[in-house]
Amino acid sequence: MIDFRNFNSLIALTAYFNSEKVCRQAIIESRWSNGDIVCPYCGEHHCVSRCDGRFRCNGCKRNFSCLVGTIFENTKLPLIKWFVAMYLISSNKKGVSSHQLSRDIDVTQSTAWYMLQKIRLLYPQSDADYFEGVVECDEVYIGGKEKWKHKSMKTPHTQGRSTKTKTPVFGMMERCVIINEKGEEEKTTYVHAFVVENTNRDTLQPIIEQFVVEGSTVITDELSAYRGLSQKGYNHFRVNHGAQEFANGDIFTNSIEGFWSHFRRMISGCYHDVSDEHLQSYIDEACFRWNTRKMSESERFAHMFSMSIGMVYKWTDIKVGLMSA
């Protein structure tokens, strides 16, 4: 079985995957490492190989290729272009725009955009696991810049937490300790973030209750939506930014605010602007990149490849893998 973590550069990747046959064989070996071909339609084991490179199920009698059930299914592009796209995404700190990717792998901009959107499907947080210990919670507002608009085009009363022209995003960040490659303890953080309808109490607190274990320490700013968390079994501490209070010992929200800063730079520096329709997918990408930042580019690419063929990891798998490294 191929160890994708050995591909520590784009040159090494393209040198090895020099044909479509090699790419497909890598998917087969990674997907069915024990040699037992499983039908993606009915789950039947021990499917037989055909002379055209596909497989036939003895149960449902359907033919299928190794791409069925992966993000590569029905693609007309060479697989090496998909592999290069995933490697570029995994190795660039702020992501890759569709215009840049189209130039790098010689496809149209619309094709590159479609590939990026399909790859972002690998990052869903719908299966995100719980947080515990110390968890920072904060909200941010994306879009809605009125500064450079003509006076006649400006929307009134959009300052602060107004959602007239901005989209609210809520995030939670867990502080924890991992063991690094040197065998030493190292502090790190993991984040979940979601587009929300508003930042009211009835919207934010159910999300906290869903993802944060009761009894954990929750640190927030002075937003009134967080009132009452102490009565729900959390150790709730607040940082009063309005009074110029930003840290009181270990009581701060600087870590998640650092993530928001990273996310804003990713949007403004790489993508420039994103629509509300696709905002969550860009947030998922930013969270995945943040949560795997302790990995090397090749390790992150190995994760992405495993997810692309259906071997989907949860966030705890990433965290446990780092903590046991």
Q: What is the pLDDT of residues 278-315, one digit of tens each?
A: 899 999 999 999 998 888 888 888 888 888 887 544 44
Q: What contacts 212, CB < 8 A, 6 or more positions away? A: 130, 131, 132, 135, 172, 218, 234
* Closest C-alpha among 245, 243, 214, 248 to residue 231: 214
Q: What is the token pair recorded at 266?
A: 């990713």
Confidence of residue 242 (pLDDT cuts 50, 70, 90): confident
pLDDT score of 226? 95
Q: Rounded to 5 degrees, what angle do the CA atoms 213, 281, 107 make?
A: 150
Task: Give the pLDDT mean for 25-40.
Answer: 90
* Helix/strand/coil for 240: coil
Q: What are phi and psi of 176, to 5 degrees?
A: -155, 180
Task: Give the pLDDT mean for 12-33.
Answer: 91
Q: What contacts 308, CB < 8 A, 6 or more positions away? A: 70, 71, 72, 82, 86, 119, 122
- Assign domain 134-291 to a CATH class: alpha beta
pLDDT score of 325? 44
Q: What contacts 123, CB < 8 A, 6 or more positions away? A: 281, 284, 285, 287, 288
Confidence of residue 33 (pLDDT cuts 50, 70, 90): confident
Q: What is the token pair recorded at 253?
A: 């929200």
* Range 79-84, long-range pairs (CB < 8 A, 24+ positions): 79/17, 79/20, 79/23, 79/24, 79/27, 80/14, 80/17, 80/18, 80/20, 80/23, 81/105, 81/106, 81/107, 81/115, 82/115, 82/308, 83/13, 83/17, 83/23, 83/305, 84/10, 84/13, 84/14
pLDDT score of 88? 93
> Is the distance from CB of 113 to CB of 98 less than 8 angstroms?
yes
What pLDDT, in 10s, does the model give residues 87-111? Answer: 998 888 888 999 999 999 999 999 9
Between residues 244 and 25, the one the model is more confident about? 25
**Distance spanning both ends of the chain, measured CA to CA:** 21
> Is the distance from CB of 266 to CB of 95 less than 8 angstroms?
yes
What pLDDT, in 10s, does the model give residues 129-179? Answer: 789 999 999 999 987 666 656 565 666 656 666 665 689 999 999 998 887
Q: Measured in whole angstroms, how far is the alpha carbon of residue 206 from the centre of its chain?
A: 22
Cα–Cα distance for residue pair 16/31, rounded to 1 Å: 19
What pLDDT, in 10s, does the model give residues 48-92? Answer: 999 988 999 999 999 999 999 899 988 999 999 999 999 998 888
Cα–Cα distance for residue pair 115/208, rounded to 1 Å: 33
Indicate the domain borders of the chain.
134-291
Cα–Cα distance for residue pair 80/263, rounded to 1 Å: 29
Cα–Cα distance for residue pair 8/277, rounded to 1 Å: 35
Confidence of residue 324 (pLDDT cuts 50, 70, 90): very low
> Is the distance from CB of 121 to CB of 280 less than 8 angstroms?
no
Task: Give the pLDDT mean for 13-40.
Answer: 91
Cα–Cα distance for residue pair 162/145, rounded to 1 Å: 12
Q: What contacts 18, CB < 8 A, 6 or more positions away? A: 80
Confidence of residue 251 (pLDDT cuts 50, 70, 90): very high
Q: Measured in whole angstroms, how far is the alpha carbon of residue 181 from the centre of its chain?
A: 23
What pLDDT, in 10s, does the model give residues 274-288? Answer: 888 889 999 999 999
Tell me whether residue 301 is exposed, middle or buried, using C-beta atoms within 10 angstroms of its C-beta: 0 to 12, 13 to 18, 19 or more: buried
Q: Rounded to 5 degrees, what angle do the CA atoms 41, 42, 48 make?
A: 85
* Closest C-alpha among 130, 132, 171 to residue 280: 171
pLDDT at 316 over 80: no
Average pLDDT, the chain: 86
